[in-house]
Amino acid sequence: MNNTPLPKDIPLDLPLPEWLLVILLVVSFLAHIVFVNLMVGGSIATLWAEIKGLRNKEYDILAQEIAATITVNKSLAVVLGVAPLLSINALYTIYFYTANSLTGIMWILIIPMVAIVFLLTYLHKYTWEAMANMKLLHIAINALAVAMFLFIPLIFLVNVNLMLFPEKWMSVRGFLSALALPNVFPRYFHFICASLALTGLFITWYMGRKNYPFEEYFQVFTRAKVKRIGYQLALGASVAQFLFGPIVMATLPAKGFSWSMMSVILSGVAVAVYAVYYMIKTLRGSDADLNKYFRRIVISMSIVVVFMGSGRHVYRANALNPHRELMAQKTAEFEQASKEAREQALNKQAEANEAIAAAEASGDNTAKGKAVFNNYCAACHKETSLLVGPPVTEMKEIYTDKKADLIKWIKSPGKKRPDAPQMPPFPQINDTDMEDLTQYILNIK
């Protein structure tokens, strides 16, 4: 049963202590994913509100207000994505790049797809008034953007999932087969629900702010109404997580589980229950009390995010550490073998030099030149027969007593024989080597 590859690692030290890299990775990833959540969730919420806006103008205004935030959130999502990318590349080079390679076409398509979906969101945002009479088309632009926003995270998920399972690499043939690994979709829905939950809280905050000129935009809707919409979205999505969370756990391969991981995840769940409780309480309370538990909910949800992000990392570390340990040993073995081979080659070189010295001592003054010739010219020239270019004997015929011309040819050859290809120039041969080389050519027998 040979099916788990064990490549060697990049043989350079990590740029900083591993624990520090891990912290950087987890923290920067969370910052990135929050904005990704807001971007994806925001575009879904916009679509929903704009469709409702066909009948009720107020929803259209709501849609426009949410849409205004997407382009800012998306810019932050991208720039904040670079740091975790950098860190995961450094920490898990072999795993991450292998997953990228095995799903290569889809992986590289992320670039044009994200650029296009961003352009679509700008188009959607800046044509709101201009396309007021083509509402369906305007909605269609956003629907296309939402479809792409829903698809792109799937590519990332497939990659960060595939990298965890070297034992699966050999069975993967392209993106679709990596997509079919059992735990991809549960993780995906988990992510989508998280996006909606965060977006709900974001809407509540953004439109409930004191310096947000709510009354300038809306005629009928009250702040309380919009805040309730936000809370409802957050609550619904959070409750759904209690369904998807266990499915994710059930479909994750056992190898990354440990008590430490479970305790991190379960602590997160406990805090989530607390947050959900206060969301329900808020929704059942009066309009005047809509802000009462807001901070509490946001803080506890942030804690949930940190716990889930950490649990995710603990799983990854558990899943990969044994393999990484073996890989480090293998890399060290390779380095050792490489070093020995280098020394061996140096010795051989020294022997060859001695042989040349011996030949010269016995009166043969072409030995050195022959070595130069073998190095640079033997690919295309033989001593007495035609290879790619003419034989050395023919060179001697042409250039006897014309050493300077020969050197000139070697440094920048012309074009003579009609069916021969162009000979490459050799400006890099230094003067002493050139002296030896021509000595050899012009003295060939």
Partner 1 sequence: MDFPLFHLDWLNDRFLIAMIAIIHVFINHGLAVGFLPYITLLEQQGVVKSGPEDITDLAWDKMVQRMMMVGFVITTTMGAMTGVGIWFSAALISPNSIGSLIRVFYWGWFTEWIVFVSEVVFIMIYFLTWKNSNKSLRAKQRHIRFGWFLSAFSWLTMAIIVAILGFMMDPGNWVEDQSLLSALTNPIYLPQLLFRTPTAMVVAGAFGFLLIMLFTKKDSPIRPTALKTTATWVLLWLPMSILASIYYYNVIPEAMTANMSTAVGTMDFAKYYDLLKYIILIATSSLALLAIWTLWKPKKVNLIIVIIPFVLSLGFLGIFERVREFIRKPYVIGNYMYSNLIREEDYPLLQRDGILKHSTYTSITEITEENKLEAGKDVFMIACSRCHTSQGINSIIFVFEKMYGEGKPLDINSMKAYIPNMHNGRTYMPPYPGNEEELDALAHYIFYLQQSGATLEGAQSAGAHLNPTHSVEHFIEQKTKQQ
Tell the smallest beta-carbon distance from residue 394 to ligand HEC (Å). Answer: 7
Q: Which lies closer to partner 1 via its Cβ, residue 14 or residue 352?
A: 14
CA 402 to chain centre: 59
Tell the smallest beta-carbon distance from residue 392 to partner 1 (Å). Answer: 14
Q: Which lies closer to ligand HEC via its Cβ, residue 210 or residue 415?
A: 415
- Supply 285's token pair: 């309370």
Among 421, 425, 432, 443, binds ligand HEC (CB under 6 A): 421
Contacted by 389, from partner 1, ligand HEC, none: CB < 5 to 8 Å by type: ligand HEC
Q: Which lies closer to ligand HEC via its Cβ, residue 57 or residue 411?
A: 411
CA distance 241 to 289: 26
Among 15, 348, 416, 432, binds ligand HEC (CB under 6 A): 416
Q: Which lies closer to partner 1 via its Cβ, residue 53 or residue 84?
A: 84
In terms of Cα–Cα distance, which of 116, 133, 184, 119 is closest to 154? 184
Contacted by 122, from partner 1, ligand HEC, none: CB < 5 to 8 Å by type: partner 1
Contacted by 213, from ligand HEC, partner 1, none: CB < 5 to 8 Å by type: none
How many beta carbons lie within 10 A of that of residue 316, not counting itself?
21
CA distance 234 to 200: 5
Stretch 371-410: interaction string toward ligand HEC, x if CB under 6 A:
-----xx-xxx------xxx----x--x-------x--xx
Q: Which lies closer to partner 1 via its Cβ, residue 28 or residue 238?
A: 28
> What does the longest C-alpha to C-alpha distance in the chain come to?
109
- Supply 212's token pair: 């947000």
Q: Which lies closer to partner 1 via its Cβ, residue 16 or residue 266?
A: 16
Contact 192, 150 (CB under 8 A): yes
Q: Does 14 bind ligand HEC (CB under 6 A)?
A: no
Tell the smallest beta-carbon distance from residue 435 to ligand HEC (Å). Answer: 12
CA distance 188 to 183: 9
Residues numbered 328-347 forming contacts with ligand HEC, rule: CB under 6 A: none
Contact 37, 194 (CB under 8 A): yes
Tell the smallest beta-carbon distance from residue 114 to partner 1 (Å). Answer: 5
Contact 20, 28 (CB under 8 A): no
Tell the smallest beta-carbon distance from residue 289 to partner 1 (Å). Answer: 34
Contacted by 328, from partner 1, ligand HEC, none: CB < 5 to 8 Å by type: none
Q: Does 415 bind ligand HEC (CB under 6 A)?
A: yes
Contacted by 323, from partner 1, ligand HEC, none: CB < 5 to 8 Å by type: partner 1
Tell the smallest beta-carbon distance from residue 406 to ligand HEC (Å). Answer: 6
Tell the smallest beta-carbon distance from residue 191 to partner 1 (Å). Answer: 20
**Distances in whole angstroms, Cα of residue 390 to Cα of each of 155, 382, 440:** 56, 8, 16
SS3 209: coil
- Supply 138's token pair: 């305007």
Tell the smallest beta-carbon distance from residue 425 to ligand HEC (Å). Answer: 9
Number of residues that bind ligand HEC (CB under 6 A): 22
CA distance 299 to 390: 81
- The stretches of 53-133 forming alpha helices (DSSP H) are 57-91, 93-102, 104-126
- Supply 60's token pair: 């259209």
Q: Which lies closer to ligand HEC via its Cβ, residue 174 or residue 421?
A: 421
Q: Which lies closer to ligand HEC via its Cβ, residue 213 or residue 414?
A: 414
Contact 440, 370 (CB under 8 A): yes
The DSSP-derived string for 332-350 is HHHHHHHHHHHHHHHHHHH
Contacted by 416, from partner 1, ligand HEC, none: CB < 5 to 8 Å by type: ligand HEC
Q: Does 256 bind ligand HEC (CB under 6 A)?
A: no
Contacted by 410, from partner 1, ligand HEC, none: CB < 5 to 8 Å by type: ligand HEC
Tell the smallest beta-carbon distance from residue 87 to partner 1 (Å). Answer: 8
Tell the smallest beta-carbon distance from residue 380 to ligand HEC (Å). Answer: 3
Exposure string of 156-165, with b = 16+ CB inside 10 Å and e = fewer, is: bbbbbbbbbb
**Distances in whole angstroms, Cα of residue 197 to Cα of each of 37, 159, 200:** 9, 24, 5
Q: Which lies closer to partner 1 via its Cβ, residue 107 or residue 151?
A: 107
Task: Kindly tell me the burial class for residue 99, based on how many C-beta atoms sit within 10 Å of its own C-beta (0-12, 13-18, 19 or more).
Answer: buried
Positions touching ligand HEC (CB under 6 A) are 376-377, 379-381, 388-390, 395, 398, 406, 409-410, 415-417, 420-421, 423-424, 426, 437
